[in-house]
């Protein structure tokens, strides 16, 4: 079974631009979660989608948004990029919604650099 696929692997953008990251979950997984990882803040929860509905949201500004399609693939969008948005963005899929007894399966992330 193929794992979680994130594209692109690396991305360099300029301040003020917007970016869209893509995540294909493991086949059969209906939940997709997104995390931002930085050396200073560690792993921060962005949001979770289950069956095309946002189930949970972290404490990020409205510039961060996401969506999930009927085939469970998910995208996240960051508008008006800031230098502080430079991070590794990780997507994870799971069978069930949320964290209840349902391990997350992570992709290898998209490394976003904002200059």
* Binding flag, residue 4, other proteins (CB under 8 A): yes
Contact 46, 32 (CB under 8 A): no
Minimum CB distance to other proteins, residue 95 (Å): 12
* Binding flag, residue 5, other proteins (CB under 8 A): no
* Binding flag, residue 73, other proteins (CB under 8 A): no
Best CA proximity match to 49, nearest among 18, 100, 14, 91: 91
Best CA proximity match to 66, nearest among 99, 100, 91, 38: 91
Residue 63: how many CB atoms within 10 A of its CB? 13
Selected binder of other proteins within 61, 69, 98, 113 (CB under 8 A): 98
Dist. CA 44–CA 34, nearest whole Å? 9
| Nearer residue to other proteins within complex by CB, 43 or 82 | 43
Interface positions with other proteins (CB under 8 A): 4, 33, 35, 42-43, 45, 48, 55-56, 58, 88, 90, 92, 97-101, 103-109, 111
């Amino acid at each position: 079974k193929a794992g979680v696929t994130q594209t692109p692997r690396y991305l360099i953008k300029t301040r003020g631009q917007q970016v869209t990251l893509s995540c294909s979950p493991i086949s059969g997984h209906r939940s997709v979660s997104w995390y931002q990882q930085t050396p200073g803040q560690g792993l921060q929860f962005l949001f979770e989608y289950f069956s095309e509905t946002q189930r949970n949201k972290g404490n990020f500004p409205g510039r961060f948004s996401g969506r999930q399609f009927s085939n469970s693939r998910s995208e996240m969008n960051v508008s008006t990029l800031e230098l502080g948005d430079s991070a590794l963005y990780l997507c994870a899929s799971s069978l069930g919604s949320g964290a209840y007894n349902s391990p997350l399966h992570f992709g290898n992330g998209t490394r976003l650099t904002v200059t």
